[in-house]
Amino acid sequence: MRRGWKMALSGGLRCCRRVLSWVPVLVIVLVVLWSYYAYVFELCLVTVLSPAEKVMYLIFYHAIFVFFTWTYWKSIFTLPQQPSQKFHLSYTDKERYENEERPEVQKQMLVDMAKKLPVYTRTGSGAVRFCDRCHLIKPDRCHHCSVCAMCVLKMDHHCPWVNNCIGFSNYKFFLQFLAYSVLYCLYIATTVFSYFIKYWRGELPSVRSKFHVLFLLFVACMFFVSLVILFGYHCWLVSRNKTTLEAFCTPVFTSGPEKNGFNLGFIKNIQQVFGDNKKFWLIPIGSSPGDGHSFPMRSMNESQNPLLANEEPWEDNEDDNRDYPEGTSSLAVETET
């Protein structure tokens, strides 16, 4: 009876957590819907007097708005990609591993299993990266997210503002969302500013639209500042071919820690996220190369380009076989937990 109550309580808490996890998304949606109303109706249709100016403002606004909402939708509803079945322990291997009480033997068992897989990263102690929740050997750049309760390929962070884990399958969409968000806020701020000045000087009548226009400029500027910092940070990560987790915790390879282990050079680093075909770079369509299980590494490219070998290695890393608390970074390491 007591066990039943505990299970019911646990299920209720999980349900509440799932519902509450949509609150940040709901806040963003409400702000966007209000901004649409304030810009289209209160600014363009009520405040702006020139018909040509109305049309021009509305055309450019809706073009940006479509891509902004499209990329936000893709960031939210593109499911994180999980490791394929070959990285999971078989039923026999799982039983052998769980029944073995000696840690050193368990470690050797994982080493033997990993020899059959394209796995080159290790924990800080040099052990094979193993997830004891999902019962799988983690592919390179894969981490376990306790919010999503699964291992995510090329995990970057868990973002509450999209209520989703950002990783291999949707990192491109997340970057595009940040870019179009910055553009959206910048466009609103620049087109609203002249009318803000007119209201401030009393050149326009003090009607209801005044408060929408003034507040619209304030909100656009506030979001622009925070978003441009976050977008700039992720642009830097892309230029170095790093995830947020790898920026905070240096990946360890079989040869040791290497902060630039996946750095292939600026252009190739961008192509690792957006693909080779530049016509898809601005459109939220999946174009990232590979399957998310293995990635080209710096060491494999040094023979082709000796200049890549010039940078010095970084300091040691801590054990990678762990979870990261949500909200590790204020810059959106909302994070692998």
pLDDT for 319 equals: 42
Cis before residue 335, ω within 30 degrees of 0?
Answer: yes
User: Is 176 in contact with 282 (CB distance < 8 Å)?
Assistant: yes
Q: What does the alpha-carbon distance between residue 120 and residue 172 come to, in Å, rounded to a whole number? A: 24
User: Is 159 in contact with 147 (CB distance < 8 Å)?
Assistant: no
What tokens does 200 get? 């401030």
pLDDT for 298 equals: 86
Tell me how crowded residue 17 is: count the other CB atoms within 10 A of its CB: 10
Per-residue pLDDT tens digits for 230-249: 999 999 999 999 999 999 99
User: Is 46 in contact with 58 (CB distance < 8 Å)?
Assistant: no
pLDDT for 208 equals: 81
Q: What does the alpha-carbon distance between residue 285 and residue 293 come to, in Å, rounded to a whole number? A: 20
As annotated, the active-site residues are 159
- Token pair 């990263």 in the structure block, residue: 121
Q: What does the alpha-carbon distance between residue 217 and residue 209 come to, in Å, rounded to a whole number? A: 12
Pairing type for strands 256-257 and 252-253 reads antiparallel
pLDDT for 207 equals: 77
Which residues partner with 131 through β-bridges?
136
Q: What does the alpha-carbon distance between residue 328 and residue 255 come to, in Å, rounded to a whole number? A: 28
Sites in the chain below the pLDDT cut of 70: 1-11, 206, 300-337
Strand ranges of the sheet holding 121-122, from the earlier edge strand across to the other edge = 121-122, 252-253, 256-257
Mutual angle of helices 171-201 and 208-240, in 10-degree steps: 150
User: Is 158 in contact with 336 (CB distance < 8 Å)?
Assistant: yes
